[in-house]
Amino acid sequence: MHGEAMAHASYHFYAGQAGHEHLGEPRRLFTDAARTELHDHFTKEARLIHFVHGDAANLRESIKGEREEATRMYPRFAREARADGDHDAARLFTEIAGDERRHARDFAKALNAITHHGGHIPAGQKADPVRVVAGRPKVRSKRTLRNLETAMRGEAFANAKYTLYAEHAKARNPKLARLFQRAAAVELTEHFAGEAVLAGFVHNTADNLRRSIAGETYEATKMYPGFARTARAEGDRKAARLFTEIAGDEAAHARAFKRALRHLHDRRGGS
């Protein structure tokens, strides 16, 4: 599931880069693949393990995660970045820690509102999206870069998780759904995006396609077939079928990305 969440976030910003380069077909492919990774693969895997619980349980889990990031992970990353001379990263980590504290407070208020009928469910923090375009890493320390990559994986997963929690809450508690939706947007379009800029995560579209082909090919030919074999050996036919289905989807993504890269290469005269 972490891989699907990361793929969704990556493709979201790869699509933006393709748009920046005025490349309509790669942009469409990345957008469609991002949608599949989150709303099909991640969602089906989550359903298989009963990942989403009741609204109160989802809030408790969210509070725990946000407090961990606000009080431990991001403050440590900020201290290490300052020690390594990466002051922009230190500022970003500190800023995100503050956002995560606010998320934890909002989720705690929402939990009180739905379990004790006390107070109200907050509207949540509106996202202030960060623009991400291709660029080199803006940090000097390998440790800071590793921490950025770790943080990005966490933000991608939080975005996917809160999206599912919002879907679950939507029918009976639209205000709670809005809170989760806004938190999901902040995690992706502010936190992940800001970290991606400093990490130099997004490259030009040709390189983004190459990276995506490698990732999708690995998942289609090794990771998911291995998961399917393990599931079958353990008698879990439902999981085996899902892993096999996803492997097929990832193979289709790889083929589509290869065609797009070939067309891009031809368009640029083979350069």
Q: Alpha-carbon torsion 234, 239, 242, 243, what sign?
A: negative
Closest by CA position to 192, among listed 160, 220, 239 = 160
Task: Report pLDDT digits (tens) over 175-195.
Answer: 999 999 999 999 999 999 999
DSSP 100-165: HHHHHHHHHHHHHHHHH--S-----PPP-PPP----------HHHHHHHHHHHHHHHHHHHHHHHH
| Res. 103: pLDDT tops 80 | yes
User: What is the average pLDDT across 233-240?
Assistant: 98
Q: How far apart are CA 234 and CA 89, in angstroms?
A: 45
Residue 74 is predicted with a pLDDT of 99
User: What is the average pLDDT across 38-45?
Assistant: 98
The structural domains of the chain, ordered by start, are 1-51+204-270 (1.20.1260.10), 55-203 (1.20.1260.10)
Residue 270 is predicted with a pLDDT of 57
Mean per-residue pLDDT of the chain? 97
Tokens 């748009």 found at: 19
Question: The whole model's pTM is what?
Answer: 0.95
